[in-house]
Structure 1
Amino acid sequence: MKPVALIIALISTVSLIELSIPSNLSEEMIEWPAYQYDTISNPLTAEKIYLGRVLFYDPILSSDSTISCASCHSQYSAFTHVDHQLSHGIADRIGTRNSPALMNLAYQKQFMWDGAIHNLDAQALAPISHPDEMGENIENVVYKLNHNPSYQQLFQAAFGNPVVTGEHTLKAIGAFMATLESKNAKFDQVMAGNNEFTDQERNGYQLFLKNCASCHQAPLFTSNEFVWNGLPVDSSLNDFGRMKITNSSEDSLHFKIPTLRNIEFSYPYMHDGRFQTLREVLNFYTSEVPLENDHLDHRLQRPISLTDHEKTDLVAFLLTLTDKEFLFNQKYSFPFEFFFPQTKDE
């Protein structure tokens, strides 16, 4: 049996406001939003998800076969570009934004920092075609995949047809990204009654609810809104955010509120990666936000006052959003058995 056929045979079915913390925390307190991913037009099958995973890790999607989706979205850094301020693409080209973390995407309707994409299945086309990222076009991707017998087998298993198409390629990647779910951080365990906060984490949670939760709402820890948080524009990038999409001055400097899940490993922070540490982020919100600017999001127009001790407690709470099961889950990891099939026989 060929290696890829063996792989296919082995795949199994994929199966805000100032508040105080009640003493009897329970999972009923946190309600997950409705699933937004369209499983009618793109059913999530094990074969399709596996194909998407292989494509996600394959640099064949780039024009010079050096950059994969995973190059800028590493699992161990919450599927962002570990320790890189801006994304890096083919021929050492530098992008203009920090690679966003990828998780719980199936619960969202808009993607990218500026919300330019409204369909998760179309998301991968943006980096594939961007000249500073993968610098390729979908027609060339399809040509390369169609000339790879191993991919023909995977497409046959996923779609019932060995002929590769752009639509099927993007749907497979979208299906894989839809499965990237982070739901088992210490925070989730506490909410389910299976763990407990330390005193420091509990105090940090109180501070979070008072100062942060209106924008970073549980359980996604983002409201998915686009706002200006007071960051001045980086003159070297001249990135004015969502205004480029809507052509409205009202959206100048508006960027999507990012999730705080796995924030411990998704540094550097902000749309341009200007902050390396969580302490730097907190220092910005407590002392550098231009409170008098009418364009500032209304939730930030009141001062946020935190002592050094409170900042330490708040960071301690943010670390409870780390989900190591997600960061090290093999079903999201590099598929060695596809790229190095000989290892299966050793």
Structure 2
Amino acid sequence: MTHALVTGGAGFIGSHVAAGLLERGHTVTVLDVLDPYYDLRIKEQNLERCREIGGDRFRFVEGSVTDEELVRSLLSSHDVEIVYHQAAQAGVRTSVENPKKPHRINTTGLLTLLMAADEFGVRRFVNASSSSVYGEVEYLPYDEDHQTVPQSPYGVTKLAGEHYCRLWDEIYDLPTVSLRYFTVYGPRMRPNMAITNFTSRCVNGDPPVIYGDGKQTRDFTYIDDVVDANLTLLDTDDCDGEVVNVGSTRTITIEELATHVIDETGADVGLEYADPKEADARHTHADVSKACDLIDYEPSTGIREGVSQFVDWYRDNRDWYEPMVLESQTVRSSA
């Protein structure tokens, strides 16, 4: 069995990757700084789920990927074979408001990990990137050769991270893969995402609020498909040195998404519209043919099925999850 280090493993995607590894019998160390970017109770739930699955095969270390001494200690003394680097300062809008905020984690933290991974013989480094690297649309769907013109500081840091991974693969012979995620959603996701906000408002009898005209499109990727893509990299070296899209292959307008949430919740509400947010992409759409060729990636959950599953999960976990969603809405509306 493999010992994996999952950075950002208390977060949404990271905790699902960690849980997937544990369910397969692997050993997992999670490194997470527990940044209160959103309510820490969600992260505590994520960690508890990993503990329940993994038992003594799971270890949590609180700390930052920018802490060079800590990172080197984890990689030098615990026989880590693969790093899943999920830690990041997320948020396109947050990065526009404070451009310096994502740099330290997304760039300096990545470099700290790459250097230590090379020094201590990690056999593969999987980097979580983002469709935000694309920016301006030249054509759709985006393939990996599409121009990269990020429209936010967050996107710039993610693109820089991809290039650093490429260099470490080419110059230092550290096998790296960068996975470009397209709007990942599912149970325990961040409370300030569109699907959580739409669901929360609808189950409380309020109309979902759409920023802009609602005609913008998104390629929403269900969390289980993202986990499958990551875990496949345990057993193949076909992606080493590559950048690979991880999306659903299908798109939906935000207006259609909100209407579908209304239908799934049975809410008797209409739609509300507000001013568009700065730096939000107009369209995203993934060409995943490269992932299909290299790792047999086949996204299995469409947006309508995924939203139905999320609404069911939301209702089952409403008591503890909803207060945090409502709080995020209050913060957003007062910003």
TM-score (norm 2): 0.25
Which of 1 and 2 has greater Rg?
A: 1
Using CA pairs under 8 Å that are at least 6 residues apart, name the structure with larger relative contact order, 1 or 2.
1
Higher strand share: 2
TM-score (norm 1): 0.25
